[in-house]
Structure 1
């Protein structure tokens, strides 16, 4: 029996997949619980159309993320913190500080969890910071840290 899945079903398939299952499983579990519909021509055509639309949406999101990464590559932000005479900051510059500065100075909004810092920045100077915009797409942001007395 062909069934079009309406949601992800463990060990069977993902939402929108057209799967062959045993008649009893399809009728008594998948269709009865609303996890799938009978795989007739109309439902199969609808599922294929939906999958194509989702693929286009994902491609558009990825393209937008690539363009954002290019913009971030060309961007430099300046953060001023209190520092000692030796160039060490009294505090540190965290991913939250970088995300806020990027939004305030350049108008680019990114989630602080997307800013990848191995350790918070604790010295005055220039640093390269990776900003993840999409799965597998990373931009390198230049952060200039200035010290003030």
Structure 2
């Protein structure tokens, strides 16, 4: 009996492989437990189509991330906060404030967990902020902090 493995099965094969097994093992264990499906042409074609769709979706997401990285490089974000006479801020600029300002001014949504700060921002000036967009794509943009 030939089956298509839906998940990894130790000592048998990995997900997506078509393997030959004994009828009882295939029917009573693999198919019954949802670890495999009978390898008919219809099942194999459906599985291949699903894999192609996943690859296309991943390629589309990758292209969107790369486009976002390019647009972030051109951004200069400005945040105003109360400051003292010597240029120090009353409280540091947080990742949450940066994410919120990006969303408000440029309509770009980045989770605050993906924003990287080298050090706390406690003074007026310009800073380079990095953002991890996933799949090894990193972007940076300028943040200008102004005092009120």
**Is 2:120 the partner of 1:120?**
yes
Return closer, same or farther for 1:86/1:25 CA change in 2, 3 Å cut-off.
farther
Question: Quick check: 1:133 aligned with 2:128?
Answer: no
Aligned partners of 2:113, 2:48: CA distance in 1, in Å? 35
Residues 2 and 18, structure 1, Cα contact 8 Å, conserved in 2:
no
Contact 2:4 2:19 in 1 (8 A): no
Task: Describe how 1:96-111 pairs up with structure 2 within 5 A.
Answer: 96-111=96-111
Distance across 1 between alignment mates of 2:47 and 2:33: 18
RMSD between superposed Cα atoms in Å? 1.9
Structure 1 gap segments, 5+ residues each: none
| 2:114–2:133 CA contact under 8 A, matched in 1 | yes
Structure-2 residue corresponding to 1:54: 54
Aligned residues: 145
Normalised to the residue count of structure 2, the TM-score between the two structures is 0.87
* Superposition deviation, residue 18 in structure 1: 2.2
User: 5+ unaligned residues in a row in structure 2: which ranges?
Assistant: none
What is the deviation of 1:43? 1.2
Paired residue for 1:86? 86
